[in-house]
Amino acid sequence: MSLGLQDRRDVSFLVRDVLKVDRLFETAQFEGQSWETFEMIMDSALKQAEALLPTNVDGDREGLKFEAGAVTTPESFKAAYKSFCEGGWIGLTEPEDLGGFNLPKSLAVLPQSALIGANVAFYILPGLGHGAADLIAHAGTKQQIKRYVPKLLSGEWGGTMCLTEASAGSDVGALRATAKQQPDGTWHITGTKIFISWGEHDLSQNIVYPVLARVEGDPAGTRGISLFLVNKYQLDEKGRLGARNGVVCTGIEHKMGIHASPTCTLAFGEDAPAVGELIGEQRKGLAAMFKMMNTARIAVGLQALGVAEAAYRYAHQYALDRVQGVAPKDMRDPQAKSCAIIKHPDVRRMLMDMRGYVEGVRALLSYASLQQDLVAAGQEPERNEAMAGLLTPLCKGYASEVCYQAVSDSILVLGGHGYLSDHPLEQNLRDMVIARLYEGTTGIQALDLVARKLGLAKGASLKDLLGRMSETIAEAKAEGLAELAGVMEKTRDSLGLVAMKLGEGFAKGDVDGVFLQATPMLMLTGDAVLSWLHLMMAVAAKRVEKRAVFHDNKIATAQHFIINAAGRIGGRVKAMLANDKAAMEMKFEGEDEV
């Protein structure tokens, strides 16, 4: 048998039986969508993923070529990109009048994660194109939407995002890029941006660069930042491509992973004017760009899930095929035959750990996306938008951390063979590292959660989350899952307690103390949320009239995750409540010199 790249049974169970996404089909926003459409899209996605899979190793080993400002991508990417665009995969969630399928985001994340699992370096390009289209659709004029969005969603034009500068890093307000308006109403952009994914390549006719810059004379800091659209080629009044614009790739980075995804340094206006146009209001650029950044953060969570599931399923298949040693229960029998390593307890433990993270993160991303779908459908928009905002740091920060752990464990299942390039897992691990870094490191996501999301509106979203957990706990008790429900109750209470203590720390002005606990709080919250979602899935499995092994496995996976997460949470709570300040009191060598 072949386990493939994704568990279709789990996908269907999650969206049908657990999240009941079909309630969206009854709304005006998603009228016309159906399970039949979704299943057809999933079938096509898995076929596309299988076709894309061979380009993953090709891209990693062939890499990129950079010469005279031009980036040449791996040869196998050409046909793959053409096929990908023809399949309409970039515009899955976008309105039909813009060339999309208007698929609910809670459903779209599932085919997307399978495609990402096939080749994450490749998928970053169409993912960025979608993000740029989404940004323009949100902040652009009708003319800009008409000009840019269809071409970005078709893949005819590529997109990226240009925020980071060498002197600013995560401090976006310290950027130095400038914009000066011209008599004809256009803008000339000057400055250098670094770490620009797919900022130069040979796969699309044009590249659209949303660029953050400061108009000369506008205030310092984030309040003075505006957003501009710059094209690789200048556009005439009808939107047709003309002469090369003044944006040049001056180099690409040599990285640990995603070798086939060019990470570029871009110079704007260095040798020729970089002509651009304002998008949105002047001095409101960061707010507009956050739309794309939040989309990108969910996309990073999808990257983490796609790669982790591919690694888990490869390790699972290997454990079925690899025969070594005898089962522990037969160790004293000299006539015992060797068995597949999946019979060994420690291998089973690692597979269960990986499975819990993969299925839990899938549920997290679908649930968070469902909140966005409910907002779009006009269903309790304020409440559900706030919940989506609360979960976003988990979708990026927590998901990237635990999926990295899952990929690391997949190598352990293979033992020394997992370390070899004969198998894809060492590449999976290298490709996974970036998910913990870009679109805001795990630490940045933790600060967002602790400093902004948990206390927003006097903790209304956190209270809502705890309330939703309580509803699931009550349902679990009613379905005969009282023991697991009891463990979940303690997890819920621990989350509420630590959140309260951090709030008290803020009130006392102990900012350092609170920020020291930000990342532990992110991980604690993520473990609590995944425990809740696993309990939700166990409840749904118990309610199935004709239960199969699959449903029993859902309950077993929930049990394993919830109990082990409770152990991690208990340790974190004790450490966090101790309010250890040693890291701030430490005198690091050389610190006084900087």
From the list 50, 439, 479, 504, the catalytic residue is 439
Residue with tokens 């779908």: 373
- The CA-atom distances, in angstroms, between 566 and each of 345, 496, 526, 569 are 21, 14, 12, 5
Query: What tokens were used for 150?
Result: 């269809």
Helix (H, G, I), strand (E, B) or coil at 87: coil
Distance CA(460)–CA(208), nearest Å, equals 39
Query: What tokens were used for 253?
Result: 């980075």
| Region label for 69, one of left (φ > 0), alpha (ψ between -120 and 50) or beta (otherwise) | left
Q: What is the 3-state secondary structure (H, E, C) of 269-315?
A: CCCCCEEEEECCCCCCHHHHHHHHHHHHHHHHHHHHHHHHHHHHHHH
Neighbours of 460 (CB within 10 A): 15
Q: What is the CA radius of gyration of the chain?
A: 25
Helix (H, G, I), strand (E, B) or coil at 262: coil
Query: What tokens were used for 88?
Result: 């309409």
Residue with tokens 């006097």: 458
Q: Residue 371: which residues within 8 A CB-CB, separation 6 or more?
A: 384, 385, 387, 388, 391
Q: How far from the centroid of its chain's Cα atoms is residue 275's Cα?
A: 32
| Region label for 66, one of left (φ > 0), alpha (ψ between -120 and 50) or beta (otherwise) | beta
Distance CA(204)–CA(552), nearest Å, equals 47
Letter string b/e over residues 33-62, b meaning 16 or more CB atoms within 10 A of that residue's CB: beeeebeebbeebbebbeebbebbebbbeb
Q: Residue 217: which residues within 8 A CB-CB, separation 6 or more?
A: none
Cβ proximity of 296 and 138 under 8 Å? no
**Annotated catalytic residue 277:** no
Handedness of CA 391, 392, 397, 402 (dihedral sign): positive
Question: Distance between terminal CA atoms of the chain?
Answer: 59
> To 10 degrees, the CA torsion angle through 50, 363, 519, 258?
10
Q: Would you please indicate which residues are annotated as catalytic (active-site) residues?
A: 439
